[in-house]
Amino acid sequence: MHVRASDPGRRVGARDVVEALVHEIGSGALPPGARLPPVRVLEAQLGLSKNTVQAAYDELVARGLLDARAREGVFVLAPSLPREPPAAQRRPAMARWAAPLVEPYPQGGVFELGSVFIDPELLPRERLAECFRAAMRDGGPAPFYHPQGYPPLRAAIAERLRDRGIAADADAIVVTVGSQQALDIVARALQTRTVAIEDPGYRYVVPLLRSLGHRVVGLPLDPFAGLDLDDWSQRLARERPGLLYATTSFHNPTGYSYSSSELMRLLALSAEHEVALMEDDWGSDMLSGSEYRPTLRALGGERVLYVNSFTKKLLPSLRLGFALAPSEAIAALVAAKRTSVLGGNLLSEMALFEFLDRGYYDTHLRELQRALDERYQACLDCLRQLMPAAVRWTTPGGGPTLWLELPAGTDAARLRARMLDRGIALEPGDANFLGPAHLSGFRIGYARHAPAALARALGALAEEIAKAS
């Protein structure tokens, strides 16, 4: 209930309370039987003395509008004023909504053969829990967040990047809710409205960009033939994108990694066509030996916008990634982050700092890379033994997934349906394409599954491919 003073002075009087209640009862806002706030509650809300509210209630009881029942409270007795038609019977308007086109989230219950996730058995859950406990050491999580991200975490990330040959400063890092939010704040703050992406490409970037009003153009990528950068150059000249988003290590969904000369050529194309570069480096931490792999950011310097994520490699539900931004972009990216979420989850940022600071991440990556290398080799062995001769696959050298290309003429949709009948879900490979699909296949996720289980699923796949060919 709201009561306003009848004169512009400071104090609300008993008469004001009476008038407000008469109005609310008369309008039907307080229907018969409604219970009124106790005197002490209304006095606290309005900053009044108890006498004022009690006097108002007494008057309304005397006027027959309220009923004061001992030990029960004060109730509305009956309307005594002409009532307006009950407004609540007129239903409020509905808004119109539209969903960005994203595929259904996996519901479980099937064997996700193309999963890009890593087997939770390989994730450092106990050590993360230890770091969360450490972050809560001093009386629980700290109350306030830093909108750009916990400063010690940003410093630790910058140090890690410098160790990998990437010039980086803590002030140039914006911590995000996974790398997806890094893409989101880039898409929000970017002033040019056309973005070029690899085709096929990361499936969640297209609805993100389009829902924010960007035009998306595709740059065909064939993981078996490598990049056709002459073709890319022609497309860049024709489409004039302002930003080119490239997953240079372990491209999703094909597993392709750019060669050094391709990176160099891409930097030259960036200068020639005035297209800025955003590099998504989610994959290199999963590849053993990737300390030898250069990045666009390392070769091209500060102007290249670099994004990465910890969550895939540590724990998907942790939701922590970051952008390493050119200096002229940082204020805009932080503002975009603040307008969308104000700030991030400090406790998780503190726990991740502990994890990095204690050297756990490096230890974990070594163990993870070794495990993924083993699963990768086991997967390759399976494929070589099981698959019909016309089946091809990429050899990413490790990581979580490869691309399996079906023999020409295989009905991929029918194959998916038959596999689903056997409890095995294949990714809809063509969903990764922006233009016409120039590949016909799907991801195989060897990181998500123990080798024996994967071998059984690949055996079933080989059977169904043989039947379908």
How many binding residues for a copy of itself (CB under 8 A)?
148
Helix (H) or strand (E) holding 322: strand 321-324
**Does position 170 bind a copy of itself by CB under 8 A?**
no
CB of 87 to a copy of itself, least distance (A): 4
- CA–CA dist 197, 326 (Å, integer): 20
Closest to a copy of itself by CB, 191 or 436: 191
Q: Interface mask (CB under 8 A) for a copy of itself, residues 323-342, using x and -? A: ---x-xx-xxxxxx-xxxxx
Query: Which one of residues 62, 70, 82, 96 is an interface residue with a copy of itself (CB under 8 A)?
Result: 96
Distances (CA, A) of 372 to 153, 179, 347, 376: 27, 22, 29, 6
- CA–CA dist 293, 261 (Å, integer): 11
Of residues 51 through 90, those in contact with a copy of itself by CB under 8 A are: 87-88, 90
CB of 152 to a copy of itself, least distance (A): 14
Closest to a copy of itself by CB, 27 or 440: 27
For residues 201 and 437, the answer to whether their CB atoms sit within 8 Å is no
| Type of residue found at 43 | E
Cβ neighbours, 10 Å, residue 95: 5
Of residues 183 through 222, those in contact with a copy of itself by CB under 8 A are: 184, 188-192, 204, 207-208, 211-213
- CA–CA dist 110, 1 (Å, integer): 53
Of residues 360 through 389, those in contact with a copy of itself by CB under 8 A are: 373, 376-377, 380, 384
Closest to a copy of itself by CB, 267 or 386: 267
Q: Interface mask (CB under 8 A) for a copy of itself, residues 389-408, using x and -? A: ---xx-xxxx----------
Compute the residue count for the chain.
469
Q: Which stretch binds a copy of itself (CB under 8 A): 58-66, 159-167, 303-311, 456-464?
A: 303-311
H-assigned helices in 326-411:
327-341, 346-357, 360-386
**Does position 450 bind a copy of itself by CB under 8 A?**
no
**Does position 10 bind a copy of itself by CB under 8 A?**
yes
CB of 411 to a copy of itself, least distance (A): 22
Q: Interface mask (CB under 8 A) for a copy of itself, residues 126-145, using x and -? A: x-xx--xx--x--xxxxxxx
- CA–CA dist 374, 410 (Å, integer): 30
Closest to a copy of itself by CB, 418 or 434: 434
CB of 61 to a copy of itself, least distance (A): 18
Query: Which one of residues 98, 408, 409, 452 is an interface residue with a copy of itself (CB under 8 A)?
Result: 98
Of residues 19 through 58, those in contact with a copy of itself by CB under 8 A are: 20, 23-24, 27-30, 35-38, 41-42, 44-47
CB of 417 to a copy of itself, least distance (A): 25
Q: Which two tokens stand for residue 397?
A: 């050298």
Q: Which two tokens stand for residue 98?
A: 């539209």
Query: Which one of residues 14, 116, 123, 153 is an interface residue with a copy of itself (CB under 8 A)?
Result: 123
Closest to a copy of itself by CB, 66 or 275: 275
Distances (CA, A) of 187 to 190, 242, 300: 5, 11, 21
**Does position 305 bind a copy of itself by CB under 8 A?**
yes
Q: Which stretch binds a copy of itself (CB under 8 A): 160-168, 258-266, 427-435, 450-458?
A: 258-266
Closest to a copy of itself by CB, 140 or 359: 140
DSSP bridge pairs for 68:
74
Q: Which stretch binds a copy of itself (CB under 8 A): 56-64, 93-101, 151-159, 165-173?
A: 93-101
**In terms of Cα–Cα distance, which of 255, 41, 281, 246 is closest to 168?**
281
**Does position 356 bind a copy of itself by CB under 8 A?**
no
Of residues 228 through 247, those in contact with a copy of itself by CB under 8 A are: 242-243
CB of 414 to a copy of itself, least distance (A): 25
Burial 326-359 (b: 16+ CB within 10 A, else e): eeebbebbbebbeeeeebbbbbbbbbbbbbbbee
- CA–CA dist 159, 152 (Å, integer): 11
Closest to a copy of itself by CB, 108 or 436: 108
Distances (CA, A) of 345 to 53, 177, 342, 385: 44, 8, 10, 47
- CA–CA dist 302, 279 (Å, integer): 12
For residues 395 and 373, the answer to whether their CB atoms sit within 8 Å is no
Instruction: Write phi, then psi, for 111 (nearest 5 degrees).
Output: -85, 110
Residues 281, 282, 283, 285, CA torsion sign: positive
CB of 426 to a copy of itself, least distance (A): 20
CB-based contacts of 111, cutoff 8 Å, min separation 6: 423, 424, 425, 449, 453, 457
Q: Which stretch binds a copy of itself (CB under 8 A): 162-170, 252-260, 358-366, 435-443?
A: 252-260
Closest to a copy of itself by CB, 270 or 418: 270
Query: Which one of residues 13, 79, 147, 407 is an interface residue with a copy of itself (CB under 8 A)?
Result: 147
The terminus-to-terminus CA distance of the chain in angstroms comes to 73
